[in-house]
Homo-oligomer: A and B are copies of this chain.
Amino acid sequence: MESTPVKLTQTVQKGGCAAKVSAIELRKILSQVQFPPTNSSLLVDGSLFDDAAIFKVNDQLALVQTLDFFTPILDSAYTFGKVACANALSDVYAMGGTPQTAMAILAFPTATLSNEIIAEVLQGACDLLAEVNVPLVGGHSIDDDTLKFGLSVTGYVHPEKIWSNNKAQIGDLLILTKGLGTGTLTAALKRGEVSESEISEAIASMTQVNACIDLLRPELADAIHAATDITGFGLLGHGMQMAKASHKTFFINASDVPVLPQAKSFLEKGFLTKAHRSNRDYVSDAVDIDQLDEISKLLLFDPQTSGGLLLSVQKEKAELVLAALKTRFKSAAFIGQVVAAQTSAVVVK
Measuring CB to CB, which residues of chain A are less than 8 angstroms from any residue of chain B?
Answer: 13-14, 19-22, 25-26, 28-30, 32-39, 41-42, 45-46, 48-53, 55, 57, 61, 63, 65-71, 100-101, 103-108, 110, 115-116, 118-119, 122-123, 126-127, 129-130, 133-146, 148, 150, 152, 154
In the complex the two chains form, what is the Cα distance from A140 to B66 in whole Å? Answer: 8
- Contacting A138 at CB < 8 Å: which of B21, B67, B141? B67
Task: Give the residue among A19, A35, A68, A137 with the most B Cβ atoms within 10 A.
Answer: A137
Q: Shortest Cβ distance from A20 into chain B, in angstroms? A: 6
Asked if A141 contacts B20 (CB within 8 A), the reply is: yes
- Contacting A45 at CB < 8 Å: which of B42, B122, B137, B144? B137
Asked if B52 contacts A21 (CB within 8 A), the reply is: no
Asked if A65 contacts B101 (CB within 8 A), the reply is: yes
Residues on B with beta carbons closer than 8 Å to the beta carbon of A13 = 145
Given contacts A29-B115, A107-B148, A115-B28, contact A140 B36 (CB under 8 A): no
Copies of this chain, count: 2
Asked if B45 contacts A143 (CB within 8 A), the reply is: no
- Contacting A49 at CB < 8 Å: which of B21, B35, B141? B141
Asked if B143 contacts A46 (CB within 8 A), the reply is: no
Asked if A135 contacts B42 (CB within 8 A), the reply is: yes
Given contacts A34-B123, A49-B140, contact A61 B65 (CB under 8 A): no
Asked if B55 contacts A101 (CB within 8 A), the reply is: yes
Main secondary structure of the interface of A (DSSP, over half): mixed
Asked if B140 contacts A67 (CB within 8 A), the reply is: yes
Q: Shortest Cβ distance from A160 into chain B, in angstroms? A: 18
In the complex the two chains form, what is the Cα distance from A19 to B106 in whole Å? Answer: 12
Residues on B with beta carbons closer than 8 Å to the beta carbon of A42 = 101, 135, 137
Residues on B with beta carbons closer than 8 Å to the beta carbon of A57 = 57, 61
In the complex the two chains form, what is the Cα distance from A70 to B30 in whole Å? Answer: 20
Asked if A134 contacts B36 (CB within 8 A), the reply is: yes
In the complex the two chains form, what is the Cα distance from A301 to B136 in whole Å? Answer: 29
Asked if A103 contacts B53 (CB within 8 A), the reply is: yes
Asked if A103 contacts B134 (CB within 8 A), the reply is: no
Asked if A19 contacts B129 (CB within 8 A), the reply is: no
Asked if B144 contacts A146 (CB within 8 A), the reply is: yes
Q: Shortest Cβ distance from A291 into chain B, in angstroms? A: 32
Residue of B nearest to A88 (CB): B140
In the complex the two chains form, what is the Cα distance from A13 to B45 in whole Å? Answer: 35
In the complex the two chains form, what is the Cα distance from A67 to B108 in whole Å? Answer: 17
Asked if B36 contacts A126 (CB within 8 A), the reply is: yes
Asked if B138 contacts A32 (CB within 8 A), the reply is: no
In the complex the two chains form, what is the Cα distance from A324 to B265 in whole Å? Answer: 69
Residues on B with beta carbons closer than 8 Å to the beta carbon of A66 = 103, 138
Residues on B with beta carbons closer than 8 Å to the beta carbon of A122 = 29-30, 33
In the complex the two chains form, what is the Cα distance from A130 to B154 in whole Å? Answer: 22
Asked if B45 contacts A138 (CB within 8 A), the reply is: yes
Asked if A138 contacts B37 (CB within 8 A), the reply is: no
In the complex the two chains form, what is the Cα distance from A132 to B115 in whole Å? Answer: 39
Residue of B nearest to A68 (CB): B140
Residues on B with beta carbons closer than 8 Å to the beta carbon of A45 = 135, 137-138
